[in-house]
Amino acid sequence: MSAEYILSGGNMQVMLCERGIRTFETVTRNTFDINAVPVLKQLSHLPVVADPAHGTGQWDLVSAISKASIAAGADALMVEVHPEPGRAWSDGAQSLTLDRFAEMMAELKPVAAAVGRTIGG
């Protein structure tokens, strides 16, 4: 209801974001709840953003979870990108290099096409 509260105050620039939930799993920072994406799309008129970097905390999982998010209906992705993740002030472990980001974006296009969607403007 926090989104509805903000909307009722006149701010129409609201979106929902799946960033993972805390569980007893210790392999990843959070457990990215892919179920949340289509559920939010069903229950709300608001855009749904997926944050697979925060949801996993690991750069090597970001691409796979991004693909799943697009297939599940996410309207956008939030992904950390850094030219030198090892030198990032924060979130380096979950940041993609520029090359990996470009590779991921190319890989997302056929996934989006397979579910009748497109990537980019």
pLDDT in tens, 19-58: 998 889 888 888 999 999 999 999 999 999 999 999 999 9
Q: Is the pLDDT of residue 5 over 80?
A: yes
* Mean pLDDT on 54-75: 96
How confident is the model at residue 121, as a pLDDT? 59
Q: What is the pLDDT of residue 1?
A: 80
Residue-wise burial string across 56-89, b where 16 or more C-beta atoms lie within 10 A, e elsewhere: bbebebbbebbbbbbbbbbbebbbbbbeebeeee
Q: Quickly tell me which residue has 């693909």 as its tokens.
A: 67
CA distance 115 to 13: 27
Domain ranges of the chain: 15-114
Q: Which CATH superfamily is domain 15-114 in?
A: Aldolase class I (3.20.20.70)
Categorize the per-residue pLDDT at 66 as very low, low, confident or very high, splitting at 50, 70 and 90.
very high
CA distances from 14 to 2, 11, 64, 77 (A): 10, 7, 26, 15
Does the predicted model carry a pTM greater than 0.85? yes
pLDDT tens for each residue of 92-116: 999 999 999 999 999 999 999 999 9
